[in-house]
Amino acid sequence: MSVKPTKAMVLAAGLGLRMRPLTDRMPKPLVQVAGRTLLDHVLDKLKDAGASEAVVNVHYLPDQIIDHVASRKKPHVIISDERNQVLGTGGGVGLLIGRVQTPHRFRRKRQFWAYCGLALETRSSADYQMVNGQLERRKKPVFIRGLNLNHNHDLKNLFKSAATTAAARPGVLREFYENLLRKGMRSEMARLTLARKMAAVTLHVWKKGEAFDAEHLKPQAA
């Protein structure tokens, strides 16, 4: 069974340093491309995908973004005002992870993956049967390992979005992603694997009260 998300988070709190001088007096989400702001392009895509609510976090020149989305009807925009905090991309994760309240609710990372909806589709020979001498797939639902249908959609969207961003930016997370590609993994599965790893590391460092270390990305860690 596929699950269609209705909520999303748009990370709009960045300083936009790489787009200066365009962002000297304007936040990056309000830079226009093809006659519309980057933020509107994203919100339009979310609306077309069926999202009814979007959390937009703001930090740099926040009032411009708040004023810009004030009249927006679809999706409904909720502002997460982080003007007094310097959180970076991870700040959005930290903000939403607060909904979990305590990491000790989860004894293992697989329980946290289920809560976040970071599931894997599994297949086996039991999925098929012989019908009139022909091998056909059974009509039973595909088994999704680790999926809780009541999972937190915000956290799923957040970790998958964070993984997509991390895979495109230089750093240890991108190296982890590219190593999966070199092993022959498809890009979409590599991003999901990265999202699962980021979720596992988040749970680990939160429980231990540790700072992130690249060692956490090793297979036996987190």
The answer to whether residue 183 is domain-embedded is yes
3-state helix, strand, coil in the chain (%, to 5): 45, 15, 35
Query: Taking residues 103-118, what's their average pLDDT?
Result: 83
Q: Are residues 79 and 107 in the same domain?
A: no
- State pTM to two decimals: 0.50
Distance of CA 179 to the CA centre of its chain: 20
Q: Are residues 124 and 209 in the same domain?
A: yes
pLDDT tens per residue, range 193-207? 999 998 888 888 888
CATH number for the domain harbouring residue 68 = 3.90.550.10
The closest of 200, 99, 189 to 153, measured between CA atoms, is: 99
Give the pLDDT confidence score for residue 69 in this predicted structure: 93
Give the pLDDT confidence score for residue 1 in this predicted structure: 45
Residue 130 CA to residue 67 CA, distance in Å, equals 62
> Do β-strands 7-11 and 53-58 pair in parallel, antiparallel, or remain unpaired?
parallel
- Domain containing 212: what range? 102-217
Q: How many domains does the chain have?
A: 2
Q: Are residues 110 and 195 in the same domain?
A: yes
